[in-house]
Amino acid sequence: MTEKPNVLYDAPGPRARARNLVLSVVTAAGIAWVAYFVYTSLDAKGQLTAAKWSPFLESTTWTTYILPGIQGTLTAAALSISMALVLGAVLGISRLSDHRSIRWIAGGITELFRAVPVLILLIFIYQLYAQYGLVQSKYYALAAVVTGLTLYNGAVIAEIVRAGINSLPRGQTEAAKALGMRKNEVMRLILLPQAVTAMLPAILSQMVVALKDSALGYLIGLVELVRAGTQIGSFYRNYLPSLIVVAIIMILLNSTLTVIATRLEKRLRSRGRLPKAPIRAWQVPDGGAAV
């Protein structure tokens, strides 16, 4: 019986198989050595003892540190996501305006806040609020995180909105105009309902990004989950267990949001409200920058 040819790549010969086997063994041995080194280093410093994990069995650890941290993370993420959706819709539609000045202004705002690193944006806004007292002092960090994440994610969502609207067949716009519909009616009644459902997977993915980026508020004093973990580690001298617990909670939060988003998308698709090929964040037409 002849061997079935592989059309994806050339089947390795005896020398190639031997070389691959040697490289696999060396790589596995290197990974095992690194894991053993990390284990022995942590064990020598007492970070793997049961006593380091015992604080998480006390209710005061959760009520004093972890639960307020989760509340801060969810508050910052919910506010920034809500406002980013509004800002992104406005900027995305404005970039499709017939007026050149509106397109340039919306495009400039979008490209500016997409280009600035989120951390620099948060620090700048925090200093701005603190310098001019634009909000109450106890809300400096929260306001800076919400504003920064809103501007950044709003700019990204603007490109998603523009890509989603431009991806729709041109014939629908032409047919609507032929029926005498105005451009705002075409956008509101014809294009947006289809574009929103098509853009839903990309928008929900950006929500997950906003939830994760809320951890950057740790650097400007926001009481959120990462700060709670470092406070626990500083108090009980168990930094590794604290960061592991924080990582597990963040994974659970993001996984929950992802599951909700996936079920929502499947529900809409089963009702025939989503196209078979949803718009992804990187599918930006007309030569635009990839998201």
pLDDT computed for residue 173 by the predictor: 74
pLDDT at position 83: 95
Tokens at 54, concatenated: 């015992």
Handedness of CA 71, 212, 155, 258 (dihedral sign): negative
Structural domain count of the chain: 1
Angle formed at CA 255 by CA 249 and CA 257, multiple of 5 degrees: 105
**What is the structure's pLDDT at 239?**
86
- The pLDDT of residue 277 is 47
Identify whether 89 is part of a domain.
Answer: yes
Any domain includes 69: yes
Look at residue 4 in the predicted model and tell me its pLDDT: 55
Tell me whether residue 208 is in a domain: yes
In a domain, 280, yes or no: no
**pLDDT, position 272:** 55
Evaluate whether residue 31 is within a structural domain.
Answer: no
**Could you list the mean pLDDT of each consecutive 10-residue stretch along the chain, which spans 291 residues?**
56 84 94 91 81 89 93 93 92 88 93 92 93 88 95 93 82 76 78 78 85 90 90 89 92 87 74 50 42 36
What's 152's domain CATH number?
A: 1.10.3720.10
Q: For residue 189, is it within any domain? A: yes
Residue 115 falls inside a structural domain? yes
- pLDDT given at position 147: 95
**pLDDT at position 281, please?**
43
Torsion, Cα 257 258 262 263, to 10 degrees, reads: -40
Closest Cα partner for 116 from 83, 85, 156, 77? 156
Q: Determine the structural domain holding residue 137 and report its residue range.
A: 65-270
